Structure 1
Amino acid sequence: MTYVVVGGGLAGAKAVETLRDEGFGGPVTLIGAETVRPYERPPLSKGVLLGNDEPESVFVHTPEWYAEHDVTLRTGSTVTGVDRAAKTVRLSDGATVAYDKLLLATGSTPRPLPVPGGERALLLRTLSDSQRISEAVTDGTQVVVIGAGWIGLEVAAAARTRGAAVTVVETAALPLQAVLGDDIANVFANLHREQDVTFHFGAEVAGVDEKGVRLADGALLPADVVIAGIGVRPNVDLASEAGLAVDNGVLVDRRLATSDPDIFAAGDIANVDHPLLGQRVRVEHWATALNTGPVAAKAMLGQDVSYDKLPYFFTDQYDLGMEYVGYVARGASPDLVVRGDLESREFIAFWLVDGRVAAGMNVNVWDVTDQIDAVIRSGARIDPARLADPGVDLASLTS
């Protein structure tokens, strides 16, 4: 048996690690388009961008690990096609690699800014992107960040911490409004305002030129550096051209198997038939790559596994640290319950759907994520007053 992993990110790296940890001794090849070995992406908008973390700290494995574990690592190689009948992948240099089982972990690509001059905006996805932005953003630099999602806010926080003057442009009325709702979105808006970040909400970008960012209302926002964080597109072209089922990602079952039983998908591209949530879920966060890679590897080995992890992500902005676990379906109208104080930014927020906790966020409150996860998994209807009461132990809510 020969195993091939396409995608040199965290999901692919953890998959090949798991194959070896589970005792598979046959050929394993990991193919990545970037010229460096697999690395983790969260530090790119946090520690590396701040200058607190050395670039070398982001890598999943040491340079020697791949040879020591007999993993063929092909960096700087782009896979241009999958021949399912011949069970081979084709590389851009014309070479082919045969597989018995194949894992696609091709990740995502940042959406470019679709306005005149949009190519002037820097994007953040790769280690080189982070280093480029880090070099450009210094004390006194005028920075305009387009998009007030997680990446946009983290970049804004890093830039402001480095002494740059920061302006954020967002089409919605608040940052993260669609994800968090108005009350919690205002927590993040106020956090950044206290650090002298300027927001332009309800604003459309008309173009970018040498003077800065021009808004649709005619305003000019002077900028030395423009950074766009307006979302990503899952890299599903390879899967689609191979004839795999694709719809908002690559459709996979609970084992992360695609419509071809010998091909699996992990990370950003995996649209999972989630056994716990009872619906399809595709999540573009670090924990998804971390956890789907090993599950896919075990499934490729024939083990009866199931990916039932709840979506999880975290952020660090200034003195605010946050963890979020759970999933609120798009279009739902959840009820918000807060334990703690929004103004002091020490609280746990719960989103309830039909009386059950669907998601929870702990802000500057630690060591409670596992308990929140357990509450969600219980599916129990919980009295909102007990959720809001700091005197009620979270663990008791499921007993």
Structure 2
Amino acid sequence: MSRPHHVIVGAGQSGANAAFAMRRAGFEGAITIVGAENHFPYERPPLSKDVLTGQDSPKPPLFFSEARYDEKNIAIKLGQRVTAIDAASARLKTEEGASIPYDRLLIATGGRPRPLDFPGSESVVQLRDVDDAARLRASLKKGLRVACVGAGPIGLEVATAARALGCDVTVLEKSASIMGRCLPAEAAGWLRRRHDAQGIKIITGFSLVAFEAGQVVEASGDRIAADLVVAGTGMVPNIELGASAGAKLDRGIMVDTFGETSSPGIYAAGDVATFWHPLHASHLSWETWRHAMNHGIAVGKSMAGRREPYVEFPYFWTDQAGVRVQVVGAAAGSSSVRRGSESEDRFSIWYLDEENVVKGVVAVDAPREIKIAERLIQSGRPIDPMRIADLAFELRDLLR
């Protein structure tokens, strides 16, 4: 009797972690990862940070060394793009004409940069993989006029890197605020002032209509000089394979709390999936580093037979303007309490509900406070807000 074969489409964070989670869960069958890129699975956050400012060739760290795949008997096929899933015969089809059978399948194809639709957009740089980062890094020279379209994490991280390399940087944002999907207004306002102080010009309410002859054109007719335009306007999940397999779709590939799609034996994890969260009683989609890793691990365990509900809560971080901003939980509530001083560039804002239970925290260069906040959110215990504001009080005592 042949061993069961689990195939993972997508050699990224979710796919790699799912494969190793299967082995840790005791799965002894064959595992194959199929990836479109020619690189072993690597960390993506450095692409908009250290890779752009480093002196050496851009080589973001791998999740697992190449030797570990051999040690765990995990086959990995790089540079092969899967074009369709035949769910009836349980086989994959690749662009190269190969047909790969599977017993269980994980779709971990992540997403791609949101397409741009304006004249001149073919000249705009978009950052998704290490090859994009290498090309951008080679372009960023002192004195270059750089326009970053989008004031989300990627746009502002690239702006920070470009400014550190001596570029003249302008950030163009369509909405009225920076980091609008990630930060509450008070934290976003502080971060914008910090970028301003470092010489990064930010223009909000900017509706881009064209990029032509070294200029970014706004709907009003205003023009911003730019030698290079970089777009950080979000991503679109790569749901096409899920659609070819007949899986239900809603923003992403819909999965249950164990990561299984509506097509039996086919799973999805990470950025490409909208997952059922039992605590929220709804399908959610998160585009964060930790979710991509933890969801991949959880779904890998489920595929190996250790089915446990996925009940994480949101967390993300961004390094920009010389600080690390971390957000855990829901940065909204009935009240908020500030700990520390903005003037010292180290503070946190705590969000509580009507019963003074911590629901979320935004922290600037305060990693210990984030760790404590996570445990308080998990506990669901009410706390005394006055103690959070008191810098003389040791926050760890709230855990007792």
Q: TM-score range by the shorter chain?
A: over 0.9
Alignment match, 1:288: 291
1:75 equivalenced with 2:81 (yes/no): no
SS of equivalent to 1:368: helix
Distance 2:88 2:303 in 1: 18
Unaligned 5+ segments in structure 2 are none
Distance 1:72 1:198 in 2: 48
1:202 equivalenced with 2:205 (yes/no): yes
Greater alpha carbon shift after TM alignment, 113-122 vs 1-10: 113-122
Per the TM alignment, residue 130 of structure 1 is displaced from its structure 2 partner at its CA by: 0.8
SS of equivalent to 1:180: coil
Per the TM alignment, residue 280 of structure 1 is displaced from its structure 2 partner at its CA by: 2.6
1:86 equivalenced with 2:89 (yes/no): yes
Per the TM alignment, residue 337 of structure 1 is displaced from its structure 2 partner at its CA by: 2.4
Distance 1:222 1:105 in 2: 39
Distance 1:279 1:389 in 2: 37
Distance 1:375 1:35 in 2: 42
1:115 equivalenced with 2:123 (yes/no): no
Per the TM alignment, residue 398 of structure 1 is displaced from its structure 2 partner at its CA by: 5.0
Contact between 1:49 and 1:133, CA under 8 Å: does it hold in 2?
Answer: yes
1:380 equivalenced with 2:381 (yes/no): yes
Q: Please show how residues 251-266 of structure 1 align to structure 2 within 5 Å.
A: 251-266=254-269
2:174 corresponds, among 171, 175, 181, to 171
Per the TM alignment, residue 309 of structure 1 is displaced from its structure 2 partner at its CA by: 2.1
Greater alpha carbon shift after TM alignment, 100-109 vs 382-391: 382-391
Letter in 2 for 1:340: G
Alignment match, 2:235: 232
Letter in 2 for 1:362: A
Alignment match, 1:370: 371
Instruction: Go from structure 1 to structure 2 and tell me whether the alpha carbon gap of 1:394 and 1:274 turns closer, same or farther (over 3 Å shift).
Output: farther
Letter in 2 for 1:346: R
Q: Give per-residue Cα distances to partners, 1:72-122, cap 9 Å, x unaligned.
A: 211111111112221111111222111111111010111122211112110
Between Structure 1 and Structure 2, how many residues are aligned?
396
Letter in 2 for 1:244: A
1:213 corresponds, among 207, 213, 216, to 216
TM-score using structure 2 length = 0.93
Distance 2:262 2:350 in 1: 36
Q: Give per-residue Cα distances to partners, 1:150-180, cap 9 Å, x unaligned.
A: 1111000000011101000011222113432
Q: Please show how residues 34-53 of structure 1 align to structure 2 within 5 Å.
A: 34-51=37-54
1:336 equivalenced with 2:339 (yes/no): no
Instruction: Go from structure 1 to structure 2 and tell me whether the alpha carbon gap of 1:196 and 1:44 turns closer, same or farther (over 3 Å shift).
Output: same
Q: Please show how residues 94-173 of structure 1 align to structure 2 within 5 Å.
A: 94-173=97-176
Distance 1:248 1:386 in 2: 41
Per the TM alignment, residue 308 of structure 1 is displaced from its structure 2 partner at its CA by: 1.8
Alignment match, 2:244: 241
Alignment match, 1:359: 360
Letter in 2 for 1:294: I
Q: Give per-residue Cα distances to partners, 1:155-213, cap 9 Å, x unaligned.
A: 00000011101000011222113432221111110111111111111111010012221
Distance 1:46 1:186 in 2: 22
Letter in 2 for 1:151: I
Alignment match, 2:348: 348
Distance 1:6 1:218 in 2: 45
Distance 2:174 2:336 in 1: 24
Distance 1:53 1:360 in 2: 36
Greater alpha carbon shift after TM alignment, 240-249 vs 196-205: 240-249
Per the TM alignment, residue 342 of structure 1 is displaced from its structure 2 partner at its CA by: 2.1
Instruction: Go from structure 1 to structure 2 and tell me whether the alpha carbon gap of 1:54 and 1:382 turns closer, same or farther (over 3 Å shift).
Output: farther
Superposed CA RMSD in Å reads 1.9
Contact between 2:60 and 2:130, CA under 8 Å: does it hold in 1?
Answer: no
Contact between 2:58 and 2:133, CA under 8 Å: does it hold in 1?
Answer: no
Distance 2:397 2:21 in 1: 35
Contact between 1:2 and 1:26, CA under 8 Å: does it hold in 2?
Answer: yes
SS of equivalent to 2:59: helix
Distance 2:275 2:56 in 1: 33
Contact between 1:122 and 1:226, CA under 8 Å: does it hold in 2?
Answer: yes
Per the TM alignment, residue 214 of structure 1 is displaced from its structure 2 partner at its CA by: 0.9
